[in-house]
Every structure is written in structure tokens, then in C-alpha cells.
Amino acid sequence: MISLSPIAFFLLITQNLDQNSALHSIPEPFSAYFSKDLKMYLVESKEGAIAFMLLALVFLGTWPAILALLERRGRLPQHTYLDYSFTNLLTAVVIALTVGQIGDSKPNMPNFIDQLSQDNWPCVLIAMAGGVFLSLGNLSTQYAWAFVGLSLTEVITSSIAVVLGTTLNYFLDDRINRAEILFPGVGCFLIAVCLGSIVHSSNADDNAAKLQGFSDSFKDDERREPVISNDRETDSCKDGVKDVENGSGKEDKPKLGSAEHLIELENNRSIKVFGKSIWVGLSIAFFGGVCYCLFSPAFNLATNNQWHIMKRGVPNLVVYTAFFYFSLSFFAVAFVLNVLFLYRPILNSPRSSITLYLKDWEGRYWAFLAGLCCGLGNGLQFMGGQAAGYAAADCVQ
């Protein structure tokens, strides 16, 4: 997602962490990062929260680039998202069964397995609602990348998530973070939303002018206007003539950003965007941003029970249990929607099937890697948020 410099991120988190918000001074070097009694079970120190959120920043900034690259190379978004969501769920299960099981189970802090059988369904449903929001947000951004571009999509969606999500979490966290530090940064993200929309509109007009000029040049030369192919195969030679004397039959790559480059990209990618309104991409990106702003507050509510909806005596969900249910609903929504999109594709994506999906191994390992990065990033963000407050943790979006 949005890449903050490590120094700026460190200063932001250290200024926002409340010294009285469950931070304890533990003398042992290793246990300074984790609860002494629970042995890595719960992050409680300022240093541990910063370390976890810095790692989350790396992981959450990696997976969107991988998925966008696969779409540009022609892999169907339905295939990619199914693979991606599978390893995302697998990551949450592994974290819950390892880190979530370390240490002795306690009445107010049960282990993952013990908590599965407790009567905690009100908070479980809220955690699952958060997974639904994130799954819809990620699915939306996967299509928005084709229309708006990776960089602008991430600026718009992440900025909306920070502006609205941080505000909600600030009040849910009982204002433990310093508002005079937190909200000027939120204001910068709000400005980024506006600037990103303006840049996208400008880029769309520029691309339209390039394509129009390219078409006019063909007309002037009495040549046919280029046709955007819906097939995966394109002509391999620009001039159609091979230089036999020099043995040069290789096509020169078009200049980045030129009309030829835009046409080549359109022919190769799986989601065709030529002729679509700029508002299609912006609408998808804004919808994804709204979904993003809700998943973190939902997870906050699930783990801290600010609405007091759990029965008396039932412990709050630990972060690992909440993350498991969160990822389970994420996968369920991703599976249902993308299987539907295989047979009823949207935005002119090619039609596919379960059989074709299972046979498509081109780029599958990259999609698996993206799901692993997303799962680790979300898990680290939530674990750090328990110590630093979820308002501060939203900065890694």
C-alpha cells in the first residue's frame, strides 16, 4: 500500500503511542517485545509494536504490485484472486496454531484452540464482518488497478482507509493516541485522495490524446486504424518485414507511455479498459477505500468488545482467534464471488471455468506469494494494533 519512509513512520508511531496504553517495562532483552508471561503470545511493548508495524508496511506494500503484474501479463483476475485468498487463509491458520498456541491458557487470555469452543459469537461475527469488508475492498482494487493504475489506486483507497478508519479507531481506542500528531497526518491523506483523482483525470485525457493522434497518423498515411485485440496473441513485428540481411526479426519495444505501449498493454492484459469512462475506475477505487476503512474498526471491536456485547465472564477474543475468523470470512467471500465471476465475468473479462482455473499454473506461485504477504501483513498490523492502538496501526495501510 502507501509507502512511508521508515524514519517518518517511526516518528509517527512513537509520538502517537500512549505510554499508559498497556505498555510494560520488562527487563529481559527478548521479552521486551512480548508479554513475559505469555512468551510471544501478546505484543505489549512500544518497541514490539513498531517492529511489527514496520514489517506489516513491507508486506502490505508488496502484494498489490504482484497481483497488478499478473493482470498486466494476462492472467485472469478470478484465477489470481482464488489462489491469493487461499494462501491468505492458510497464513492465518498457521499463525493461530503456532503463535496463538504458545504459552499456558488463562481464564482471561485463552489459547486459540480453547477459545474456539467458547460462547463468543457476537464478537466472532464482527470479526467476520471485517473480513468481508477487506475481501470486497481487495477485490475492488484488483479491478481498479486496470483502470486507474496501481500507484493511484493505492493512494486513493489507502488514503480513504486512513482518513475514515483512523478516525473511527481513534474513538474506539478511547483516544489513547495524540490527536495533534495523528490528525494532521490524516489530513495529508485526505489531500492525497483529491490529488490522486485529479491526476487520474489528467492521465486519462493524456492517453486519449495519444491514441487519437496515433489513429490520425494512420489515416494520414492511408493505413488502417489499429484494432485492439481481445485475443492473447498480437502481431510480433511492427513493420511486418524481417531484415534478412541483418537477421533482425525482433520487434523494438515501444516507448513507455507512448500510444504503441498503451495498445500493447491493452492487448496483453486480461481486463480491457479502452473506451471505458474514467469514472468507472474512480468509482471502483472509492468503493474499495470505503471497504478498507471499515475492516480495521470491525477487528478493533471484535478484540476489545467496546460495545459490551459478550456475555459476562466470557473473555474477549484474542487477536489470533479474531484473525482466524476474519480470514475465514475473507476467503468465503473471495471464493463465492470469484467462482461466480468465472462463469459470469464482469468488466469484459474473459469467461473461464473451474477446470480452466485448476489447469492454469501460469503465475500461480506469484499469486500464492501475494496471499502470504497479505496474510502476514494483516496479522502483524493487528498484533501491533493491540499494543499501539488501531488508530496508529492504520498508518500501514
The pTM is what? 0.75
Q: Is there a contact between 186 and 166 (Cβ–Cβ < 8 Å)?
A: yes
Going by C-alpha positions, the residue among 111, 93, 114 that lies closest to residue 102 is: 111
Q: Which three cell numbers stand for residue 188?
A: 495529508
Provide the pLDDT for residue 34.
45
Q: From its phi and psi, is residue 316 left (phi > 0), alpha (psi between -120 and 50) or beta?
A: beta
Q: Which residue, chain included where needed, has cell 486519449?
A: 208
Which residues have CB under 8 Å from 296's CB, separation 6+? 130, 161, 165, 168, 169, 381, 385, 390, 393, 394, 397
Cell of 153: 489506486
Backbone φ and ψ for 106, nearest 5 degrees, come out as -120, 155
Q: Quote the distance between the C-alpha of residue 262 and its chain's center.
A: 25
CB 176 within 8 A of CB 46: no
Q: What is the DSSP letter of 18?
A: -
8 A C-beta contact, residue 141 and residue 64: yes
Q: What is the SS3 assignment for 106? A: strand
Q: Which three cell numbers stand for residue 35?
A: 508479554
For residues 2 and 158, the answer to whether their CB atoms sit within 8 Å is yes
The single residue listed with the C-alpha cell 477505500 is 289
Q: Which three cell numbers stand for residue 53?
A: 508495524
* pLDDT tens digit at each of 397 positions of the chain: 444 444 444 444 444 444 334 333 333 443 444 444 445 457 777 788 888 989 998 999 899 999 999 988 889 999 999 999 999 999 999 999 998 887 677 767 788 998 998 999 999 999 999 999 999 999 999 999 888 888 788 888 888 888 788 788 878 876 655 555 556 766 666 676 667 667 656 665 666 665 556 555 555 554 555 554 454 444 433 444 444 344 444 456 776 656 565 566 667 778 877 767 778 888 998 999 999 999 999 999 999 988 889 988 889 999 999 999 999 999 999 999 999 999 999 887 889 999 999 999 999 999 999 999 999 999 999 998 887 778 777 766 6
Alpha carbon distances (Å) from 109 to 19, 24, 150: 22, 17, 41
112, 324 Cβ separation under 8 angstroms: yes
How far apart (Å, rounded) are the C-alpha atoms in residues 296 and 391?
9
Please tell me what DSSP assigns to residue 22. Answer: S
What single string gives the DSSP state of each residue in 233-280? ---S-SSS--BTTTTB-PPPPPPTTSHHHHHHHHHHSSS--TT--HHH
